[in-house]
Structure 1
Amino acid sequence: MAHWGVLPFAGALLVWSADRPLNETFRIPADGLVLGRDLLDEHLRGHRDDRISRSHTRLSVEAAHVRVTDLGSRNGTFSNGHTVAESIVVTPPSILRTGRSVWVIVPDVRRYEHVPLQRRGGLVVAGTLDPLCRELDDIANAEANVLLYGPLSIGRELAASYAGTIGGEVVRFDPETMKVPLERVINQRSLRTLILELGSTMPERDAETLATWLETDIRVATVVRDLRWLNELPSELVARLAMRRIDVPKQRFDELPAQVFEQSCAMSPAAPLHATVIERCLLDSFRVDEDTLQVEVRGALLRWCISGNPALRGEDLDLPDSLRHNDCIHADYHLVAPRLAAYRRGAGNLPRDEGE
């Protein structure tokens, strides 16, 4: 017997169908929700999932869980990467694949409703990041310093958005990779916003320079994935840097598929993404952050370019530890592309650049 009142707003997010990202929300009513071609025909114009059955899978709420029942579909139902033989009970959030469509079962669907996918700089924004972006705009308009804690790839883009709202000249400083004193980076410039990316210990000299410049009208957006690097700074400086703090979500089910799609199009517009790629990325987001996911997708796309396979599939994201730091994976795609093209024409080995 279904106890619908325990999760009255449980629902399913349709985040991918056929060959494109989506952001459609469906609440699970008391009598259950049937996923399938009939549902897609009713809510999506011109959907192209030819692998989903008319009535594919039923979702029903049971206490604090959701029962997933395959309705005799032709191509099966997959829950968290495993085949559903007949019926299984899952605890939201949970990843579901039916045909070429990928869903996320969530305990409360309201935060995702009526928020379309949109681009903000290099970020795809929907229900997860939209409230943070609006809060960030308020912080920028108040000209308060902000601390962005979470995956660096998201933090960088949010920091750039913050700087854009403030206006004026922007400088990015990463003491780990730039290997130059902060004073040389910002001195004699009409600087308005400093984007400070902390990935290691900040040299004492740079900390002193930063404290001095904070006495001016410079505003700072600090991006950090590990708070220990921030806690090594003097407490007075930390208090000034973290006037406002935003914790970046480590999982964004509604936005990640579109972000992966954008990354794929930027690197190789011809690469068709199989639904299992999206399924795999969503499942991996439970164990690794988005920075790591981007590296995995980047490596898979580069390997796909030289493989000749018809589509990029979820299993193509598997990467041995010995290759995780391969230069080819981290190289700029626009530099690697000509070498990959030559390889696919039958050269047999990647040609070496002149001077190598």
Structure 2
Amino acid sequence: METEQERSTLRASRGAAGTDAGARVPGLMRLFGGGRAMAVALRLKEGALELGRGAAVLGEVQDAKMSRRHAQVRFDGQRFWVTDLGSQNGTFVDGAAIPKGTAHEARRVVRMGDSLFVPSVDLRPLEAHGVEVVEQFVRGPAMQGLLREVSQASLGHSLYIHGESGTGKEGVARAFHSLSSRRSGPFIAVNCAAIPESLAERLLFGARKGAYSGADVDAQGYLQSADGGTLFLDEVVELDLAVQAKLLRVLENREVLALGASKPQRIDLHVCCASNKDLRAQVASGRLREDLYFRIGRPDVTLPPLRQRPEEIPLLLERGLSPGRRLHVSLVEECLRRPWPGNVRELMAELGVAEHASHLQGASRVEGGHLKPDAGVAFGQALSQPADAPRAPPRQVPAKAKPLPADERTRIEHALRQHGGNVTATAGALGMHRTQLRRLLARHDIAVADEDGQE
């Protein structure tokens, strides 16, 4: 079990006691401020909340870049509306600056000064549980609830974990192991999709000397290696049906017969399986044995994708940086806006790329402009030009301007297309001021097109 020294917890501010169990508590989650990640719940008062520098609701972490009366956020029962109250530095809703005095709907993230707020229709989970960091594993309210299910499941012998690629299924499997009675035994993780079909039986069940050509010594399989502990089979549906049949026999009899062996070996282990596929659909399609499904498919838990856990993103970014590097608000804002189809795995990989880009530029902090334009967005034609589409001839660069590197020009043009020609939103995505971007566009003759493609 974890000790207090192993546990670092960010707790949200507490709401008033006595809230009705069935009543939602709409409000904002303040996830970044003062240059650091946080997880603070801000309740609306009578459906609205006014924010600005010195506001008591912001507590000790005030924001010098916010105006005294910066913006108002209102909830109409279904949607959140943000109105800029004449702030000096502006208010950005989902990456775009909003005009003063006009209400705009906020869906993903609101930036005021150097603070980021995410609308939430119900703050109670964050108020009750906050966001924890346990052994490098960031756990928001949804993940904490899931792990409570895992804790109950750990009383049994198996668990099935369903979730999109990159959501952290192995981390949940390790939690299942650490909470079980086999925690002192080994934890063996196997990616079934990476096992060649011709080697699956040998690698899983082991082999005796002389079982096949080249078998000079006895070799343990993954099942024997996990004896006394937990075997984690990721993408279990990728196993051949014949191997599935032999695996089922092992799970039922608690005996494994290695290739070339005359007698089975007794084993005692827990089995945790995972996949990003629906197991019942795999049974219906004939890719998974029905009898194996009834052995490994229950109990089950489903990991929510990262886009449904925005409160974890700033902490993941903060903890993923190399020592001495700092996060800029523009990077966190961009990451909160994007859906991240590859989830935590993709987020961490793209953070590494962005950090490398900042290092090459001699920057001490990682900004939104260091993030690749296609990082964290869904795959599709909207992000790339069709292979057979004619390319426009290169624009002539004025003689007074130093030529812009081709990759930088492509990055800017890509970001402009992604934001429908909105210079302010594009500047925010690139981590620069809109005036700086306008000068760059003019100097290098980069056209700005609207959403209909008209220049």
Fold agreement, TM-score > 0.5: yes
Deviation of 1:313 (Å) = 1.1
Paired with 2:241 and 2:148, the residues of 1 have a C-alpha distance of 34
Residue in 1 that maps onto 2:114: 100
- Note the 1:259-298 alignment, pairs <5 A: 259-264=316-321, 268-285=322-339, 289-298=343-352
**8 Å Cα contact 2:165/2:342 also seen in 1:** no
**8 Å Cα contact 2:42/2:57 also seen in 1:** no
Residue in 2 that maps onto 1:227: 278
> Is the alpha carbon distance of 1:38 and 1:320 closer, same or farther for their aligned partners in structure 2, counting shifts above 3 Å?
closer
Residue in 1 that maps onto 2:301: 246
Paired with 2:341 and 2:191, the residues of 1 have a C-alpha distance of 26
Q: Secondary structure at the match of 1:94?
A: coil
- Note the 1:162-201 alignment, pairs <5 A: 162-166=176-180, 167=183, 168-179=185-196, 180-181=199-200, 182-184=204-206, 185-189=221-225, 190-198=227-235, 201=238
Q: Which runs of 5+ in 2 are unaligned?
A: 1-22, 207-220, 255-267, 376-455
Deviation of 1:178 (Å) = 4.7
1:21 maps onto 2:76 in alignment: no
**8 Å Cα contact 1:95/1:282 also seen in 2:** yes
CA deviations 1:215-273 (Å, max 9, x no partner) are 22432222222337954211211222111121111120111211121112xxx122211
Q: TM-score, length-normalised on structure 1?
A: 0.79
CA deviations 1:137-186 (Å, max 9, x no partner) are 11112334232323434111111111111212211111233544322332
Deviation of 1:62 (Å) = 2.2
Residue in 2 that maps onto 1:57: 71
> Aligned Cα RMSD in Å?
2.5
**8 Å Cα contact 2:162/2:277 also seen in 1:** no
> Is the alpha carbon distance of 1:289 and 1:31 closer, same or farther for their aligned partners in structure 2, counting shifts above 3 Å?
closer
Bigger mean CA deviation after superposition, 62-71 or 280-289? 280-289
Q: Which amino acid aligns with 1:145?
A: L
Aligned counterpart for 2:148 among listed residues 110, 134, 152: 134
Residue in 1 that maps onto 2:131: 117
Paired with 1:14 and 1:59, the residues of 2 have a C-alpha distance of 13
Deviation of 1:191 (Å) = 4.0
Paired with 2:162 and 2:133, the residues of 1 have a C-alpha distance of 19
Paired with 1:212 and 1:37, the residues of 2 have a C-alpha distance of 66
Q: Which amino acid aligns with 2:104?
A: V
**8 Å Cα contact 1:16/1:103 also seen in 2:** yes
**8 Å Cα contact 1:149/1:245 also seen in 2:** no
Paired with 2:222 and 2:189, the residues of 1 have a C-alpha distance of 9
Q: Which amino acid aligns with 1:134?
A: R
Paired with 2:178 and 2:195, the residues of 1 have a C-alpha distance of 23
> Is the alpha carbon distance of 1:269 and 1:300 closer, same or farther for their aligned partners in structure 2, counting shifts above 3 Å?
same
Paired with 1:29 and 1:314, the residues of 2 have a C-alpha distance of 33
Q: Max radius of gyration: which structure?
A: 2
Deviation of 1:55 (Å) = 2.3
Aligned counterpart for 1:38 among listed residues 25, 49, 54: 54
Paired with 1:313 and 1:100, the residues of 2 have a C-alpha distance of 12
Q: TM-score, length-normalised on structure 2?
A: 0.63
Bigger mean CA deviation after superposition, 147-156 or 58-67? 147-156
Task: Name the structure where helix makes up a greater proportion of residues.
Answer: 1
**8 Å Cα contact 2:98/2:104 also seen in 1:** no
> Is the alpha carbon distance of 1:121 and 1:195 closer, same or farther for their aligned partners in structure 2, counting shifts above 3 Å?
farther
CA deviations 1:286-325 (Å, max 9, x no partner) are 765333222222211222222212421112111569xxxx
> Is the alpha carbon distance of 1:305 and 1:99 closer, same or farther for their aligned partners in structure 2, counting shifts above 3 Å?
same
Q: Secondary structure at the match of 1:114?
A: helix
> Is the alpha carbon distance of 1:64 and 1:286 closer, same or farther for their aligned partners in structure 2, counting shifts above 3 Å?
farther
> Is the alpha carbon distance of 1:240 and 1:188 closer, same or farther for their aligned partners in structure 2, counting shifts above 3 Å?
closer
Paired with 1:142 and 1:316, the residues of 2 have a C-alpha distance of 46
Residue in 1 that maps onto 2:160: 146
Paired with 1:176 and 1:69, the residues of 2 have a C-alpha distance of 50
Deviation of 1:209 (Å) = 3.6
Paired with 1:73 and 1:80, the residues of 2 have a C-alpha distance of 17
Deviation of 1:83 (Å) = 0.6
Paired with 1:148 and 1:300, the residues of 2 have a C-alpha distance of 30
Q: Which runs of 5+ in 1 are unaligned?
A: 1-6, 322-356
Q: Which amino acid aligns with 2:54?
A: D
Deviation of 1:59 (Å) = 0.7
Bigger mean CA deviation after superposition, 82-91 or 241-250? 82-91
Residue in 1 that maps onto 2:241: 204
Paired with 1:130 and 1:36, the residues of 2 have a C-alpha distance of 32
Deviation of 1:119 (Å) = 1.8
Task: Count the aligned residue pairs.
Answer: 309
Q: Percent identity, please.
A: 21
Paired with 1:303 and 1:158, the residues of 2 have a C-alpha distance of 32
- Note the 1:258-337 alignment, pairs <5 A: 258-264=315-321, 268-285=322-339, 289-319=343-373
